Amino acid sequence: MPHLRSRRRLALAVPVVLSLTASLGFLPVAASAAPQAETSAQAVDAPNLAYVVNTKLDRRTIEAVKKAVPAAGGTVVITYEKIGVIVVHSSNPDFGKEIRRVRGVQSAGATRTTPLTAAGSTDEGSAQFLSKEQAAKVESASAATPDSEPLEADQWDLRAIGADKAAKINPGSRKVTVAVIDTGVDDTHPDLAPNFSASQSANCVGGVADTSEGAWRPYTADDYHGTHVAGEIAAARNGIGVAGVAPGVKVSGIKVSDPDNGLFYPESVVCAFVFAADHGVEITNNSYYVDPWLYNCMDDPDQRAIVDAVNRAQLYAQHKGLLNVASAGNSNHDLDSDAIVDDSSPDDSTPVERTIDPHECFDVPTQLPGVVTVSATGVQNLKSYYSTYGKGVIDVAAPGGDRLYQIPDTPSKNGRILSTMPNGQYAFLQGTSMASPHAAGVAALLKSTHPKATSAQLQALLKAQADATACPESYDQDGNGTQDAVCKGGKHVNGFYGHGIVNALRAVK
Ligand SMILES: [Ca+2]
Ligand SMILES: [Ca+2]
C-alpha cells in the first residue's frame, strides 16, 4: 500500500506467525493452574515471575513445549495456540534459559523484574478537574446551543480536526467498535453509557480474559486514564458534558493495568489484542507502552521475547482487520536518532540508565509493524513540547494538548484535553495518550464510511486524509535559544507530524 513505511528490520527479527491460524484457530485454551508435582529444584526465595514462551506454530510443537514447561520449573497460565504464545509463572531463576533450549521455542523471557505479588507505586501524572463554574455546566443542557454539548466550548481539540462539523454529517456507525486497552473504562459515566459495548469488554490482567459484569471497570477513581481516553473517542452527543470525536460509534474497555502497581505487563496486552480480535472489534487504542521496559532491545532475551509475544498478538488482530493505533510517547525523544538515554527502565523495580538505539530497541506496541504511531499537537497545530517524534516512525499527529506553550482562546484557557473521568466527572489531561484516541476516533469514522477496508487500507486512508503539516522553521518552545527538537522531512511527511494532523471532517465527506 502507498505510504506504508518499511519496518523491515523489525519484521525480520520477529517471525510473522499468521499463516497457520486457519488450521489452528480455536479460542485460547486455559490450562490447569494447579501446582505441578514434577517441578524442578528451585532456588530458595527466588521471585515468582511471569514469562512469555513463543513457539513455532504447529500444534505438536506447542503441545511438546507445554509439556516441557513443568520440567523447567514453570506452570502454564494460558496458551494462545493461534499465535504460539504460552504464558507461564515460574520461580526457577533459570526458567528462561532452560525453556529457550527446548525444540520449537523461538523466544522466551520474563515479562517483569519484580515478583508477581509485589506492590508498587504509580505515577499517573496530575489531572486538572473542572472549576465549580464549569462543573455546574455539565448537566445543564440549556447552557448549550442545540448543536453543541455543555462543555464543548472548552473542546478546542474537536474544532482543530473538524470533529464538531463531522458529527453533523455522520457521527460514525454503531457497527464500529473501538476497544480502549488501558486502565479500564467506567461505563456507568452518563457520557459513556450510551455508546458502551459490554460484550466486547474484559479484564485481561495476568493474561486471561475475565468477562464477568464490570470486570472492565477501573479499580479506583485514580485509574482514570482509560475512562478519559474512551470519552475522547466516543463520548455521546446527549446534551451532557462533552462529545467525543466519533460520538456515533461504540467503545469498549479492556483492562490491562496491574492492580498492585498499575503497570501494563506484556501478557495482559497479548490477551487484550487477541480478545479484541476475537470479539468483533474494529480498532484498538493503545495509549501506553508495555511495561516494564520503555524500550525493548532485541539483543536481550527477555525483551526480545516481549516484542515477539506482543507483536504476534497485534499482527493477529491486524490479520482479522483491526487497526491498532498507539501513542508515540511523552519523552520528547527522537525515535529516528542513533542514541536515546532511557533512565526509567525497568519501571517495576530499580531503573538502570542505558543508552539505546531506537532502531534496535522498540517502544511496544507503538513501534511494531502496521501499528499507527501518533504524535501530539496543541491548539497552534505545533508538536506538543513533550511529544516523542521521529521521521519514518510517526504516522500521523493529533491533538494531545500543550499546557505550557499553546494556550487556546477558550473559556478555561486550558491547553489540555477535556474528557470523561470515573464517577461522572470531567477533567483536563495532556499527553500523546490523548492524541492517539483522536486518531482512533477519526479511524472509526473512516471505518464507518469504508466498512470493508482492511487494516492497511484504513491506515492509508487515515494518512491520505490528514492535513499535511510542514516542519516549523524553529522549535525553541522555551525560548532559551536552543532548539528543543529537530523536525526532519518535508511538508508531506516528516518527523513531527508524519503524514499530517488527522481530519475528522474529511473522513465523513
Ligand atoms: Ca455528551
Ligand atoms: Ca529551547
Residues surrounding ion ligand 2 at CB below 5 Å? 476, 478, 480, 482, 484
Question: Is residue 43's pLDDT more than 50?
Answer: no
Q: Are 109 and 303 in contact (CB under 8 A)?
A: yes
SS3 of 274, please?
Answer: helix
Out of 13-17, 334-338, 425-429, pick the least confident: 13-17
Supply the pLDDT for residue 131: 79
Q: What is the pLDDT of residue 142?
A: 53
CB 329 within 8 A of CB 366: yes
Ligand 2 centre distance from Cα of residue 477 (Å): 6
pLDDT at residue 143 tops 70:
no
Give the mean pLDDT of 131-145. 68
Q: In whole angstroms, what is the distance from residue 343 CA to residue 294 CA? A: 9
Ligand closest to the CA atom of residue 477: 2
Q: What is the pLDDT of residue 273?
A: 99
Q: Return the C-alpha cell found at 184.
A: 479500564
Q: What are the backbone angles phi and psi of residue 277, rounded to the nearest 5°?
A: -65, -35
Ligand 2: distance of its center to the CA of 455 in Å? 39
The pLDDT of residue 161 is 98
Q: At what angle do helices 432-449 and 225-234 cross, to 10 degrees?
A: 40
**Buried-state track 200-218, b at ≥16 Cβ within 10 A, e below 16:** bbbbbbbbbbeeeeebbbb
Greater confidence, 134 or 362? 362
Q: What is the mean pLDDT of residues 10-23?
A: 32
| Count of beta carbons in the 10 Å neighbourhood of residue 76 | 21
Asked if pLDDT for residue 42 goes beyond 50, the answer is no
Q: What is the pTM of this model?
A: 0.89
Q: What whole-number distance in Å separates Cα of residue 272 and Cα of residue 286?
A: 10
pLDDT > 80? residue 467: yes
Rounded-to-integer distance, Cα 38 and Cα 99, Å: 15
| Eight-class DSSP state of 344 | S
Ligand nearest to C-alpha 405: 2
Ligand nearest to the CA of 486: 2
What's the gap in Å between 365 CA and the centre of ligand 2?
A: 30
For residue 99, the surrounding DSSP H or E stretch is helix 95-100
Q: How far is the CA of 396 from the centre of ligand 2 (A)?
A: 24
The tens digit of pLDDT for each residue in 427-460 reads 999 999 999 999 999 999 999 999 999 999 999 9
Nearest to 103 by CA among 64, 70, 69: 64
Conformation bin of residue 194: beta by default, left when phi > 0, alpha when psi is -120 to 50:
alpha
Residue 22 has pLDDT above 90, yes or no: no
Task: Categorize the per-residue pLDDT at 470 as very low, low, confident or very high, splitting at 50, 70 and 90.
Answer: very high
Ligand nearest to the CA of 240: 1
Q: How far is the CA of 123 from the centre of ligand 2 (A)?
A: 26
Tell me which H or E stretch contains 354: strand 354-356
The cell 491498532 sits on which residue?
324
Residue 432: how many other CB atoms lie within 10 Å: 30
Contacts of 315 (CB under 8 A, 6+ apart): 16, 17, 18, 83, 368, 369, 370
**Whether residue 48 has pLDDT greater than 80:** yes
Q: Residue 448's pLDDT is what? A: 98
- Looking at residue 133, what is its pLDDT? 79
Residue 87 main-chain phi, psi, to 5 deg: -95, 130
Query: What is the structure's pLDDT at 20?
Result: 31
| Average pLDDT for the chain | 90
**Position 276 pLDDT exceeds 90:** yes
CA of 382 to the centre of ligand 2 (A): 15
Q: How many helices (H) and strands (E) does the chain have?
A: 13, 18
- Binned at pLDDT 50, 70 and 90, residue 140 comes out as low
What pLDDT does residue 367 have?
98
Cα–Cα distance measured from residue 467 to residue 5, given in angstroms and rounded to the nearest whole number: 18
Q: What is the pLDDT of residue 134?
A: 79
| Residue 413: Cβ-neighbour burial (10 angstroms; 0-12, 13-18, 19+) | exposed
Beta-carbon count within 10 A of 482 CB: 8
Per-residue pLDDT tens digits for 397-433: 999 999 999 999 999 999 999 999 999 999 999 999 9
Report the C-alpha gap between 132 and 129 in whole angstroms.
Answer: 9
Rounded distance, CA 183 to CA 173, Å? 25
- Counting other chains too, the contacts that 475-481 makes at CB distance below 8 Å and 24 or more residues apart are 475/382, 475/383, 477/382, 477/385, 477/404, 477/405, 478/385, 478/405
d(CA 192, CA 250): 9
Q: Minimum-distance ligand to the CA of 476?
A: 2
Q: Mean pLDDT throughout 289-305?
A: 98
Biggest CA pair distance of the chain: 70
Task: Please report the pLDDT score of residue 145 as a whole number.
Answer: 60
The yes-or-no verdict on residue 124 having pLDDT over 80 is no
Query: All 3 cell numbers of residue 245?
Result: 470525536
What span, in angstroms and rounded, lies between the C-alpha atoms of 316 and 363? 19
Which listed ligand is nearest to 141 at the C-alpha?
A: 1
How far is the C-alpha of 229 from the C-alpha of 435, rounded, in Å?
Answer: 9
The one-character DSSP state at 501 is B
From ligand 1's centre to the CA of 247, what distance in Å?
A: 8
Q: Which ligand is nearest to the CA of 137?
A: 1
Torsion of CA 169, 415, 389, 261, to 10 degrees: -100
- Residue 281: all three cell numbers together: 472489534
Report the separation in Å between the CA atom of 331 and the middle of ligand 2, taken as the mean of its atom positions.
15
* pLDDT tens track for 301-316: 999 999 999 999 999 9
Of 16, 37, 27, the closest CA to residue 78 belongs to 27
CA of 119 to the centre of ligand 1 (A): 37
**Which one, of 183, 178, 208, lies nearest residue 196 by Cα?**
178
Q: What is the SS3 assignment for 458?
A: helix
